[in-house]
Structure 1
Amino acid sequence: MTHTLLFANFKGGVGKTTNSVMTAYELSKLGYKTLVCDLDPQANATQLLRRTYTLQHNEEMAFPETMMVALKNEDIKPAIVEVMKNLYLLPSHKDFVNYPDFLELKYLANMPNYKERRISYFNNQLKQVQNEYDFIIIDVPPTLSIYTDSALYAADNVIIVLQTQQRSLDGAVAFWEYLQTFYNEHSTIDFDILGILPVLLKNNAGLDNQIIKDAKETFGDDLLFNTIIKHMERLKRYDRLGISEKGKTSKHDFHDEKTHEIYIQLTKEILNRLKENKHA
């Protein structure tokens, strides 16, 4: 069975892309064949994995076809690239900014069910390769858009990323409310909210603890992940140089070990929550 996960929040800069990619990375290391779909025209997930590929292989990643071209051709498989064992990427590119216009021209406003046909298009293409993967993780921009709706239509589980600042909490609440509206409006979809993932703005700060307390009161204790992603400078280096680890790169050190330990912990909690939901 393939699990399709979406990390999201309406507030930008909360760590959606970092947590999406790091979770995908650790899933692949645990032996799960994982595909990252970058549905953000800014292509941050693509750049992080491109740099990771270069760091580990000492060569640039080749992109035989852009995702936009592949979607137009109704065959996304040629656009998928292998980053490392068990980890694959459906990369974004600057031409993906044309995706909304493509859908508007393909499904005109006078066509029956045109809105549903637009937001389901990506999911229909993804289904062609879905069974080849254990996990599909989708990264989206922090906006209410056709990109987010397309990802929601394809997802079966959503993780709301909550950075410990008021605007992020407000964005999480707004996204929670939007999820409920979206779910009620589309009878053909079925997703669960897997949890709220706290990401610390600063370690051991009073505001961090207060935001987490407010989130528990808003969403309930059970919905918040037990794993808390602490503020780690190493993640900034990953954005610039790619993900490093022992046995893969000469630049690995104990900071990498600590970073991977936290994300392995998060990944295992995600697996446990998926298992519990299956038996619920």
Structure 2
Amino acid sequence: MPSLREPLTTYGFESNDEYAFAVRCWLDGPTAGVRALNLAGDGQRRKTAFAHALAQALGFTQILYHDFTDQHPPLPDVILPPSQDELGRTEPPIEPLDRIVSEACAQSEGDLTVLILDQLHTADFRQHLRLHRLLTECVWEVRGGSYVANPKRLHLMLLSDEPLYHALRQESFRLWIGRQSERQQPYQPADFGLGPEAQPLFTALPPLFDVLGVVPTHHELTRLLSDFRLQVCTLEQLRLSLYGRLEGVEHAALRDPLHQGALAQVWEAVQSWLITEHIEVAEVPNETNSAHER
């Protein structure tokens, strides 16, 4: 499987980490039932962004989503009138989970389908048991009726902030999605179209990122460098730019006295870079003036 970094970025999830190997294990590993990907980690809603981006990057025809914490789930496309038995008792509406899982089973008969189940740790344990049966037997029962999934076309993504029920965990492939990238990229000025005059800045940035506990992506650093060049005029504005551009940075960390030395070094490097850049621009000959002089 080729790299997933660029396709994931295209669909809204940017990371320095490569997920192609783990995804290949999920898709190609032996299984007799429905394939499930367990997204674990401290990424919180970043896991949600990853799930949706991955589903689109892999080309799933049908992408269905259910959040167990949603108090107002979307209404179905067709709302059936309430039915009554011979005693006049009204049958309660179908639960949102039953509706979307049964839809996923039906869609899997003809389309490559993925069902994303978010905040699974908040679900009733009985739903975990039912999901385990879906994975192993490809069956979802609703009020005595059975919906059968096509295991070749239906895939599940299980998002939970807590460890899954043991049996569910055994039937899924687990992938860690953290609050930020784990892989540090050794960026160089040339990666951003800059010359050697920016090297002191690129030397000063990694120690600051280390003390702040952040791992910037290429996109984040591109925007940060643009701020340095066009917007940042003071040390305080440098702090604001760092907080505004870097996803993992904590506000308190930028004010921590222990981190001010690293901040000052970056600020000094920014000033030196801009002065050098300004001098180089000023030294470029003005072609119009040169023509007049000739």
**TM-score after normalising by structure 2:** 0.29
**TM-score after normalising by structure 1:** 0.30
Q: Which has the higher contact order (CA 8 A, sep 6+)?
A: 1
Between structure 1 and structure 2, the one with the greater Rg is: 2
